Structure 1
Amino acid sequence: MGAVDLTGKVALVTGASAGLGRQFAQTLARTGAAVVLTARRTERLDELVAAIAAEGGKAVAQPLDLRDPAAIVAAFDAAEKAFGTVDILINNAGIADANFAARLSLETIDAVIDTNFRAPFLTATEMARRLIAAERPGRIVNLSSVGAFTYAPTSSAALYSATKAGIKRLTETLAIEWAKFHINVNAIAPGMFLSEMTEGYLDRVGDGVKKFWPRGRFGQPDYLDSTLLYLVDPASHFVTGTCIIVDDGQMNR
């Protein structure tokens, strides 16, 4: 398999304003895709649009509150108006619970479930409806977590981990349901990567946690580039319903 060429593809990335989402958007743009950047913080999206354009790429910013189903439909409408039918979806946006389960407020519980599970389901089905109607293939990449596979008494992320386990299973079931339509659904389960989301965790526990890992290092956002591109590459058309752990051997199996 040679270099990935996504020229002519339209990608929509959720949570593109920072961290992994920003990296994913830039990586897709650099390989030729026209990218629709979505998030609530539009000023950051505008800056990213300019950065992508400076490299010769194509991108537009679209404000999106993923807890609003109507806004999700509007985002796909806007994407089609700007570039055409979305055929690559990166369900990256997510929030952490950052506390033990019995201490979570109902507001936090609803926010975590709505953002981490309900929203990816709604974005995936919205994209699939449009692709099925247009009789076009597509690629969906969901962001799970190693928390879907392993948990410790001190993790203080029970709800977050449960939603990410749900994403793994959703990936598997949607892949089967949509295989006949040539819509491939896969997931990435990152370990501890340096991002805006993990900053709060590291502020609480410190970076000494890395001493327990075989290679003693955190992931950098660009370490996920090759996995992302593998899953969206038209050449990987036989790969669907899988969740790839990318954690440098940090976690137990």
Structure 2
Amino acid sequence: MKTPLFDLSGRTALITGGGRGLGKDIAEIFAAYGANIAVCSRRIDNCQETVEALQSSYPIQAKAYACDISSEENVNDTVEAVLSDFGRVDILVNNSGATWGEKAEKMPLEAWRKVLDVNVTGTFLMSKAVGNQMIRNGYGKIINIGSVAGLKAEPANVLNAIGYSTSKAAVHHFTKDLARKWAEYGVTVNAIAPGFFETKMTKYVLEQSGDAIRQNNPMKKLGDPKSLQGTALFLASDASDFITGQVIAVDGGSSL
């Protein structure tokens, strides 16, 4: 009997920022399709809640870890712990992110550095730490969470966060470059660029400009968890084995 294209049974996924929002949604769909789940973030309490919910709903292993992905020591220790607990990591989702809303001419340097450290450096550090064992195993799926903000420049009244948009554009190119470098090792690297979804990170923007954002979207709506879950499952599964270095916009057409 052939293995279904989207079956993740026996595989282990590590999801950064998996305690809430889009990371939690991704953890849930992976678990529903059989993957064991490791989630990490700076706030382990959120991750623990995710783990408990997954374990009560699906017959999988799950564990939470505290990790500051902008710290190389923290990242390496966390990945070592996950490998010790699960044996391997087959799927990595670099979802942890930070933002800072401010006009470019007033953006504090420390805010710029914080956003870049989490969104870009954190993605690099986690990919490097997990990627080394993927290379040894000859298999791996890396999914980076970018943003439509890294594909197009939004007007200031919609999004005024130049550090965030710059960092996500960097994540998109990092995805392409790493995909080129690691294709020979059996590791695929792709990115999802979400449009506006209702999350804690977008709460303020949507409170201020939600109606305009909906009106400007070709589908006249915001993203829903199911939309992102389907794309993430596709990229984590055998269905995407011949796809690497791609940035898939999940945005209702807002980047067109």
Could you say whether these structures have the same fold, taking a TM-score greater than 0.5 normalized by the shorter chain as the test? yes
Distance 2:76 2:117 in 1: 16
Q: What is the total number of aligned residue pairs between the two structures?
A: 251
Distance 2:211 2:76 in 1: 40
Q: Is the 8 A contact 1:98 1:201 kept in 2?
A: no
| Match for residue 37 of structure 1 among 19, 32, 39 | 39
Task: Report the counterpart of residue 8 of structure 1 in structure 2.
Answer: 10
Secondary structure of the 1:89 match is: strand
Task: Report the counterpart of residue 96 of structure 1 in structure 2.
Answer: 99
Distance 1:74 1:240 in 2: 28
Task: Report the counterpart of residue 144 of structure 1 in structure 2.
Answer: 146
Distance 1:68 1:90 in 2: 17
TM-score under structure 2 length normalisation? 0.93
Q: Is the 8 A contact 1:16 1:22 kept in 2?
A: yes
Q: Judge which range, 213-222 or 120-129, deviates more.
A: 213-222
Task: Report the counterpart of residue 67 of structure 1 in structure 2.
Answer: 70
Task: Report the counterpart of residue 186 of structure 1 in structure 2.
Answer: 190
Task: Report the counterpart of residue 212 of structure 1 in structure 2.
Answer: 216
Task: Report the counterpart of residue 23 of structure 1 in structure 2.
Answer: 25
Distance 2:251 2:209 in 1: 19
Pair 1:48 & 2:46 matched: no
Distance 2:205 2:29 in 1: 26
CA RMSD of aligned residues (A): 1.5
Partner letter of residue 81 of structure 1? S
Partner letter of residue 171 of structure 2? I
Q: Is the 8 A contact 2:234 2:240 kept in 1?
A: yes
Q: Give deviations 1:166-204, integer Å, cap 9, x for gaps.
A: 111111010010011000000001111111110021233
Pair 1:231 & 2:235 matched: yes
Partner letter of residue 183 of structure 1? V
Distance 1:142 1:152 in 2: 21
Distance 1:142 1:167 in 2: 7
Secondary structure of the 1:187 match is: strand
Q: What is the Cα deviation at residue 27 of structure 1? A: 1.0
Pair 1:109 & 2:112 matched: yes
Q: What is the Cα deviation at residue 75 of structure 1? A: 1.1
Q: Judge which range, 205-214 or 80-89, deviates more.
A: 205-214
Q: What is the Cα deviation at residue 153 of structure 1? A: 3.5
Secondary structure of the 1:139 match is: strand
Task: For 1:231-250, list aligned pairs within 5 A.
Answer: 231-250=235-254
Q: Is the 8 A contact 2:196 2:222 kept in 1?
A: yes
Task: Report the counterpart of residue 125 of structure 2 in structure 1.
Answer: 122
Partner letter of residue 203 of structure 1? E
Q: Percent identity, aligned pairs only?
A: 34
TM-score under structure 1 length normalisation? 0.95
Distance 2:67 2:208 in 1: 30
Distance 1:147 1:123 in 2: 22
Distance 2:92 2:162 in 1: 27
Q: Is the 8 A contact 1:49 1:61 kept in 2?
A: yes
Secondary structure of the 1:197 match is: coil
Distance 1:109 1:165 in 2: 14
Q: Is the 8 A contact 2:75 2:126 kept in 1?
A: yes
